[in-house]
Amino acid sequence: MNILFIHEVDWLQKVVYEIHNLAEILSLRGHKVYAIDYSDTWAKNGFFDIGSLKTKEFKGVSRAVPGASVTLRHPGFVKIPGLSRLSGSINQYREIKKTIKEKHIDVIMLYSVPTNGLQVIHLARKFGIPVLFRSIDMLYRLVRYPALRPATRYIEKKVYTRVDAILAITPNHSRYVISLGAAREKVRLLPMPIDTNLFNPSIDSSEVRRKWRYNEKDRVVVFIGTLFEFSGLDGFIREFPHVIEKVPEAKLLIVGDGPQRQKLEKIIAEAGLKSRVTITGFQPYQTMPQYISLAALCINPFLNTKETRDIFPGKILQYIACGKVAVVTPLLGIKSLIPDESKGVLYADTATDMATKVADLLASDVRRHRLEQAGIDYILQVHAQQKIGQQLEAMLQEIVDKNSAGKDNN
C-alpha cells in the first residue's frame, strides 16, 4: 500500500512519539509511506525572515525505528503571526493533493483537525481514498486560547463524522469521539506501540550512571518528559524529604526541560536537595531506555486537571517496558486502559500519597519485582510494536479493500 500520514506538528522537531513509530513500522513491512507536516513551533531566523512557500522533501527519514524509510514533505508557510497557520493550511492543501496524485495514495492516516482535517476529507472524497483518524488527544481542550475552542470542537465533530474509521488510543478516547458524533461501529481501539527492542529490561545504564555520578547503592527515582506547569513535580519534590527519611539512598532524576524548570530549581535549592535531585535538561531520544534502566522506579505525578485528565502519557508504557514500576496520578486517560496495578502501574492521588508509595516500593524489593514483571508481561501482550504494526496493517488493508469493493459496486 501507499500510505500518507498527515499531522499539524513538525515531524523532524517534535519529540519522537507514536506517529513516527507507526509510520516507520509500516515502511519496514514493505509499504511506501509518506508524511506531510506543519511547523507548529516555528521561529524567525532574523528580522527579514518571513518564511517561504516552497515545499521541502526529505527522503529516508527514520526517527524511531532503525532501518525504516519515510518520505517527508514539509510545506512552506509565511512566518507572520496570524498568517502562518492560514498560509500553511493553504499550502498543505496543494501538497496533499499533489502527493495523492503523484504517489497514488491508497489510504490516509490523519492526526490533525484544525489545520487540515476538513481539507484532507474533501480531497480524499474527491479522489476516492479512505481516511482513518488517529485519536490520541481530546483536541479542543488542548487549544491554548479559550476563544478558539468552540470552533475547534465544531471542526472535530465534522471530521469524526466524515472519516471512514477512527483508531482510538484508549477506551476513554473511544467514548470521547463517539460523544462528538462518531459512529460507534467505526471506532476501534489500537493501543500505543512500544519498541521492545529499544525499551526492555536488559538495557545497560552504566554510561548514564557514570555521567550523573550515581553509584550502585543509589535508589534513583526517574521522571522523563517536558516540564510543564502541570507536571506535579513541584509537589513531589517538596515531599521527597519524606522518601529520603525512609530510604536514605533515594535520589530523584528529572530527565527533561521546560517552562517549569526554573521554579523546580528554586524549590530544590530552598529544600536543600541539590545533592539529591538532578535536572538533566533534554536528552537524546535514543538514550531514554538507559535513563529508565537506571531507575529503581519511575513516576508521573501530573496534576489531575481538565487539560490532563484524559491524556495518556506514552512514557508510562516506556517505563514498564523497561521493567520499572510506574507510580502515577490516576488520570482517567490512563485508568481507562490500565485500571489497576496488575499491569505494573501503581496509582497515587496526591504528592504526599505518591511519596509514601514510592518510599514503600523502594523499601520492598519483593513487591516491586512482582509489579515489574506484571508490567513487562502486559507490554508484550498488548503493546509490542510488531503486534501493533500487524493490527494497523490489517485495519488499513480492510478499509482499502472495502473502499475498492464500494467502487466496483458503483
Assigned C-alpha cell, 398: 480492510
C-beta atoms surrounding 340 within 10 Å: 9
Assigned C-alpha cell, 4: 500518507
The whole-number pLDDT of residue 151 equals 83
pLDDT band at 146 (very low <50, low <70, confident <90, very high): confident
Q: Are 116 and 92 in contact (CB under 8 A)?
A: yes
Strands 2-6 and 32-36 come out as parallel
Rounded-to-integer distance, Cα 397 and Cα 63, Å: 25
Note the pLDDT tens digit of each residue in 290-327: 999 999 999 999 999 888 888 899 999 999 999 999 99
Q: What is the mean pLDDT of residues 77-104?
A: 87
The whole-number pLDDT of residue 408 equals 67
Phi (first) and psi of residue 87, to 5 degrees: -65, -35
The whole-number pLDDT of residue 53 equals 80
> Can you spell out the DSSP letters for 275-306?
TTEEE-----GGGHHHHHHH-SEEEE-----T
Rounded-to-integer distance, Cα 50 and Cα 94, Å: 20
How many CA atoms does the CB half-sphere of 395 hold within 13 Å? Answer: 24
Q: What is the mean pLDDT of residues 118-134?
A: 95
Rounded-to-integer distance, Cα 386 and Cα 364, Å: 34
pLDDT band at 138 (very low <50, low <70, confident <90, very high): confident
**Residue 110 CA: distances (Å) to CA of 5, 113, 121, 165, 245:** 6, 8, 9, 10, 50
Q: Which domains does the chain have, with CATH numbers?
A: 2-193+385-409 (3.40.50.2000), 206-383 (3.40.50.2000)
Angle between helices 117-127 and 149-162 (to 10 degrees): 20
Residue 189, strand partner residues: 168
**Residue 381 CA: distances (Å) to CA of 23, 302, 352, 369:** 21, 27, 33, 19
Show the 3-state SS of 314-332.
CHHHHHHHCCCCEEECCCH
Element (H, E) at 253: strand 250-255
C-beta atoms surrounding 66 within 10 Å: 11
pLDDT band at 44 (very low <50, low <70, confident <90, very high): confident
Assigned C-alpha cell, 201: 529490561
Burial class (CB in 10 A: 0-12, 13-18, 19+), 171: middle
Assigned C-alpha cell, 52: 517561504
Place of cell 476538513: 118
C-beta atoms surrounding 175 within 10 Å: 15
Residue 31, strand partner residues: none
Note the pLDDT tens digit of each residue in 241-262: 999 999 999 999 999 999 999 9
If you average pLDDT over every residue of the chain, what do you get?
92
Of the candidates 237, 225, 398, 250, the one whose C-alpha atom is nearest the C-alpha of residue 314 is 225
The whole-number pLDDT of residue 195 equals 92
